[in-house]
Every structure is written in C-alpha cells, then in structure tokens.
Amino acid sequence: MDKSIDCLYCQRNELQKSLMIEICDLSVSTLFLFKEQSHPGRCVVAYKDHVNELFELSETNRNEFMADVCQVATAIKKAFSATKINYGAYSDKLAHLHFHLVPKYEGQFGFGGTFEMNPHKTYPTDLEYAEMIEKIKNAL
C-alpha cells in the first residue's frame, strides 16, 4: 500500500495547510513556516519524496537534504537573531522525513529546555506571516 496517500506532506492537504505555510522549494526539500510561532522563525524542512528515515536516502540525497536543513537554519539565525537553533525529527505518527527547525532565544519561551511540538500560544496575523516569510527568503 502506498503510504504517501495519507501523508500531509505528499498530499499538501488541509491539515497541512492548517499547520504551516509553504515558503519555497529547496534543492531536495520544501520549506514551510510553522504557523504556531512561540519560537519566532520556526520552520519545517520536508524531504521532497515520501521516505520516513534519514538512512533510507542515498548518501548524495542525504547530504543534499542536510545541506537544505543547514541553509534554512542559517537563514533563520540571520533573519531572527536566534541564540540557538533546535532540530527535531520525530515522525512517530507522520511517516515522512522532515525536520522542525526551532529558533530559541535566551531569556524567552522554552530556552534551555526541549521545545514543545505545538504549544498553541502564538499565532501571528497574515501580514506578520508574510513579513516573516519575506525575512526568511531574503536570508536564504
């Protein structure tokens, strides 16, 4: 059975659109802005094809994917002056290779601990999302 049929990253379904905003395609992945922004600049980098594990990629594709992740992390740090970028790749319930890139800021929400997946605290306006996306694009 094709598991990509139910995958929100492959199907780009309404659930996915309720959680994140597509920013752009990268070398082998797609960049999304996570709508919940308790950590300003939080993004998701999702691999372009339906795989679940990093080790399922060829060495070349793995290196290209990790280069995409590093490119986005660098852009987030530059655009939002983050103190540290946290990386999360869980996929327990969503079998598609993706990394959450979560900027942390000293003295602010969640600094010094593990980030909450979706704390439901901060949802910017559409204009603020657009401004964040523009900052990220300019830093890529």
Taking residues 135-139, report their average pLDDT: 98
pLDDT of 44 reads 98
pLDDT of residue 1 exceeding 80: no
pLDDT, averaged across the chain:
93
pLDDT of residue 139 exceeding 90: yes
Domains of the chain: 3-139 (3.30.428.10)
- How far apart (Å, rounded) are the C-alpha atoms in residues 89 and 44? 10
pLDDT of residue 19 exceeding 70: yes
Q: Which residues contact 122 (CB under 8 A, 6 or more apart)?
A: 36, 37, 38
pLDDT of 98 reads 96
Whether the CA torsion 79, 87, 3, 61 is positive or negative: it is positive
pLDDT of 64 reads 98
Q: Which amino acid is at 79?
A: A
pLDDT tens profile 115-124: 887 887 899 9
pLDDT of residue 76 exceeding 90: yes
Does the pTM surpass 0.85? The reply is: yes
pLDDT tens profile 27-44: 999 999 999 999 999 999
pLDDT tens profile 82-132: 999 999 998 788 889 999 999 999 999 889 988 887 887 899 999 999 999
Strands 29-34, 20-25: pairing kind:
antiparallel
pLDDT of 2 reads 63
Whether the CA torsion 138, 64, 85, 52 is positive or negative: it is positive
- How far apart (Å, rounded) are the C-alpha atoms in residues 42 and 34? 6
